[in-house]
Structure 1
Amino acid sequence: MERLIQANGQAHYGIFSDAPELINYRDFDFRSAMGRRLGALAKWRRFHQFQYFGLISEELIGGCALANLSLLGVGFVYLFHPASGRMIAREFKLPLGMGTRFSQRPQDGVCELRSGRNLLRFENSEAPRQKRLLVELDDGTRIEASFSEQLPAFQAMCLNTPCATNGWVYAQKVAGVRCRGTVLSSLGEFDLTAIDAFAHHDWSAGYMRPETSWNWACLSGQAGAQRVGLNLSCGVNETSFTENCFWLDGELIKVDTVRFAFDRDQPLQPWRIDSHDGQVQLRFEARGLHRERLNLGFLASNFKQVFGRFSGVLRPIGRPEVVIDNLWGFVEDQYVKW
């Protein structure tokens, strides 16, 4: 598919075998809830986009995100060292997104944030198909990480869902891929290949609900002889279609709706995550937490990303079950008003 928005101003909806070349949101026939056609200013204000790159290994956990919220550009990066329990984190908030740029090409473009001597940069390339993260901070921290997504070895989850009365959300998810590169920080120097690191990636954009919340879970690692990745959510991307799935050696296996059971006031307590179709039964034990809060009235966020270990079972239909034994991953509890 070349463009997500068709010539008539309506979006393509569904689960796609591959990503659209361009998220041409300005061509969308965007209307108010009462049917009034909205102009360029409303399209700019209501369109939001974010990208996330996560690292998982026994020796190092990390995450980096960029978000374009029209009135605000947001970025964060953190690294967690499981053996010592030490963590480093940085956050950036730039009014009107000054110092940021965002490509609307999920497979071939650059998104970045610059603030002083700090750089967060995502590079996505089509040939060869790969995702790359570059982080350079003024304290000497440097992350250079990438993974390959060459088809048919790996099939990303790509979907677009209707949202509220007048919007849509495009999401593209990857998990269960091996990662290469290096990390240099106060936690130490790491060769991502040598520590057998895995990666996961999220590219999302659209006219999302002005006030929303969701839960999310992701893991990447080795389960026996198989590479395993998992992407589950509840509260977003569930209108007609869901993004819920897992991967076995790069093959995407679709999952039904899921239930997250946890204590919102105590996110470091155990979580339970189960799918309606019985394919996923997992328990999550937290080891650390990255938290951000923002309340500007017109913009607000209560974000908790918890990293820890998953145990349980995946039951792909018609196949042997896959035992998940203390694999590292993430869960998330997020509220947003934008």
Structure 2
Amino acid sequence: MERLIQDDGQPHYGIFTTPPKRINYRDFDFRSPMGRRLGALAKWRRFHQFQYFGLISEQLIVGCALANLSLAGIGFVYLFHPPSGRMIERQFKLPFGFGTHFSQQPDDGLCELRSGRNLLRLENRPSPKEKRLLVELDDGTRIDACFSEDEPRFQPMCISTPAAVNGWVYAQKVAGVRCAGEVRSSLGDFDLQRLGAFAHHDWSAGYMRPETHWNWACLSGQVAGRRLGLNLSCGVNETSYTENCYWLDGELLKVDTVRFAFDRQRPLHPWCISSQDGQVALRFEARGQHQERMNLGILASNFKQIFGQFSGVLRPPGRDEVPVANLWGFVEDQYVRW
């Protein structure tokens, strides 16, 4: 598919085997809930885009995100060292996205944020098909990590769904892939390949609900010699289709709707995550969190990304159960008004 938005101004919807080459949001026939056609300013204001890259290993956990919220460009990065419990965190908020660049090509583009001597960059390369994270901070922290999707069996989750009465969301997710590269920081120097690190990636964009909330879970690791990745959410991409799935050695297996049971006021207490079709039954034990709160009137966010370990079972239809024991991953609780 060359473009997500068709000639009639409407998106393609569904779950795709290959991603669109371009999210041509400016061609969207954007209208008010009452049917009035909206112009270029409204298209710019309501279009939002974000990208996330996570690294998982027993020795190092990393999360990095960039977001274009039209009125602001936002980025964060954190590094957590499980053996010591030490953590490095940085957050960036740039008015009107000054100092940022965002491509609308999920597999062939560059997104980055520059603030002083700090750089967060996410590259999506088509040939070979790679995702790369580059972080350079003014305290000497440097992350250079990449993974490849160039294996015949691997299929990313590519999904486009309606959102509210006049919007849509395109999301592209990957988990359970091996990661290479290096990290230098005050936590230590790490060779990601030697650590046996895994990566996951999220590229999302669209005209999302003006006020929304979601929960999300992701894990990556190895179970009985097989690579396992998992992506589950509730609250954002469930209109007609869901993004819920897991990967076994790169093979995508679809999951029905999921339920996140947890205490919102005590997010570091255990979470229970289960799917309606019985394929997922997991318990999450938190080890730490990255949290951000922002209230600028028009823009507001209450964001908690919690890292820890999953245990439980996955039940792929017609196959042996997949036990999950203390695999590292993430859960998320997010409210946003944009």
Q: One fold, TM greater than 0.5?
A: yes
Where in structure 2 are the equivalents of 1:2-151 lying within 5 Å? 2-151=2-151
Where in structure 2 are the equivalents of 1:263-282 lying within 5 Å? 263-282=263-282
Which residue does 1:325 correspond to in 2? 325
| Cα displacement (A) at 1:225 | 1.6
Would you say 1:310 and 2:310 are equivalent positions?
Answer: yes
Q: Which runs of 5+ in 1 are unaligned?
A: none
The whole-number CA distance in structure 1 between the counterparts of 2:229 and 2:70 is 32
The whole-number CA distance in structure 2 between the counterparts of 1:262 and 1:18 is 34
| Cα displacement (A) at 1:82 | 0.3
Q: Which runs of 5+ in 2 are unaligned?
A: none
The whole-number CA distance in structure 1 between the counterparts of 2:81 and 2:151 is 33
The whole-number CA distance in structure 2 between the counterparts of 1:152 and 1:315 is 24
The whole-number CA distance in structure 1 between the counterparts of 2:264 and 2:86 is 24
Which residue does 1:167 correspond to in 2? 167
- The residue type equivalent to 2:123 in the other structure is E
- The residue type equivalent to 2:155 in the other structure is Q
Which residue does 1:157 correspond to in 2? 157
| Cα displacement (A) at 1:151 | 4.1
The whole-number CA distance in structure 1 between the counterparts of 2:322 and 2:18 is 26
Alignment RMSD, CA only? Answer: 0.4
Q: Say which SS state the counterpart of residue 41 (structure 2) adopts.
A: helix
CA distances 1:61-109 after superposition (whole Å, capped 9, x unpaired): 0100000000000000000000000000000000000000000000000
- The residue type equivalent to 2:146 in the other structure is S
The whole-number CA distance in structure 2 between the counterparts of 1:61 and 1:151 is 25
The whole-number CA distance in structure 2 between the counterparts of 1:199 and 1:14 is 25
Q: Say which SS state the counterpart of residue 193 (structure 1) adopts.
A: helix
Would you say 1:241 and 2:248 are equivalent positions?
Answer: no
The whole-number CA distance in structure 1 between the counterparts of 2:85 and 2:70 is 36
The whole-number CA distance in structure 1 between the counterparts of 2:299 and 2:32 is 20
Task: Give the number of aligned pairs.
Answer: 338
- The residue type equivalent to 2:18 in the other structure is D
The whole-number CA distance in structure 1 between the counterparts of 2:153 and 2:56 is 20
Which residue does 2:176 correspond to in 1? 176
| Cα displacement (A) at 1:196 | 0.4
Which residue does 1:289 correspond to in 2? 289
The whole-number CA distance in structure 2 between the counterparts of 1:14 and 1:109 is 23
Moved over 6 A (4+): none
- The residue type equivalent to 1:246 in the other structure is Y
Q: Say which SS state the counterpart of residue 140 (structure 2) adopts.
A: coil
TM-score (norm 1): 1.00
| Cα displacement (A) at 1:153 | 3.0
- The residue type equivalent to 1:321 in the other structure is E
- The residue type equivalent to 1:71 in the other structure is L
The whole-number CA distance in structure 2 between the counterparts of 1:153 and 1:182 is 27
- The residue type equivalent to 1:226 in the other structure is R
- The residue type equivalent to 1:276 in the other structure is Q
Where in structure 2 are the equivalents of 1:251-270 lying within 5 Å? 251-270=251-270
- The residue type equivalent to 2:43 in the other structure is K
The whole-number CA distance in structure 2 between the counterparts of 1:99 and 1:262 is 37
CA distances 1:146-202 after superposition (whole Å, capped 9, x unpaired): 000014231100000000000000000000000000000010000000010000000
Q: Say which SS state the counterpart of residue 242 (structure 1) adopts.
A: coil
- Equivalent pairs: percent with the same residue? 78
Which residue does 1:229 correspond to in 2? 229
CA distances 1:89-132 after superposition (whole Å, capped 9, x unpaired): 00000000000000000000000000000000001001100100
The whole-number CA distance in structure 2 between the counterparts of 1:88 and 1:332 is 19
- The residue type equivalent to 1:234 in the other structure is C
Which residue does 1:190 correspond to in 2? 190
